[in-house]
Structure formats: structure tokens, C-alpha cells
Amino acid sequence: MNTTKLQLVTVDLENGEQGIFVGWPLVSESADAEDGQVENIWFSNVQDVPDDLTLKQLMELVRRQLCACRSTVQ
């Protein structure tokens, strides 16, 4: 069986709101604390996706968006 590594990133706001984001692993268990410092954070626009979207399809959408963002950021 093929697997995909995923990681949850939880963000707490001062107003009590909380968001949980799913994506490819950003920080590994073996990473040095100095290697995990945040340099930038970007938020995409909010997109409606079909309820029956598979994880594989979702990750492909994310990959395409990430590639598009990287090509426009200098």
C-alpha cells in the first residue's frame, strides 16, 4: 500500500479562534530546533472544493497551488 506523510499544523489566534492545517511534513522528529525557525508564512485564498475529493486529489491541488506560488515569488 502506498502512503503519504501528512502533518497537522495548529494555529491559535489571540481571539480564541483556532485553525488546523494539513500538509506535507514541515518539521521532522529528527530536525534540529535551529532548523525549524519560521521565516515566512503565506495564506492562500479560500477555495471551495468538492466534498467527495480524495486525499490524493487534494494533495495534487495543493501541489499545483504551491508550484504556482513559487513561480510568482521572487
pTM over 0.75: no
Residue 14 lies in a domain: no
pLDDT digits (tens, 9 = 90+) for 28-62: 777 666 666 777 877 778 888 899 999 889 888 88
User: pLDDT band for position 66 (50/70/90)?
Assistant: confident
Residue 9 lies in a domain: no
Range of the domain at 72: 46-74
Whole-number pLDDT of residue 65:
78
Pick left, alpha or beta for residue 16 (phi over 0 → left; psi -120 to 50 → alpha; otherwise beta): left
Residue 30 lies in a domain: no
Residue 39 lies in a domain: no
Pick left, alpha or beta for residue 30 (phi over 0 → left; psi -120 to 50 → alpha; otherwise beta): alpha
The number of domains in the chain is 1
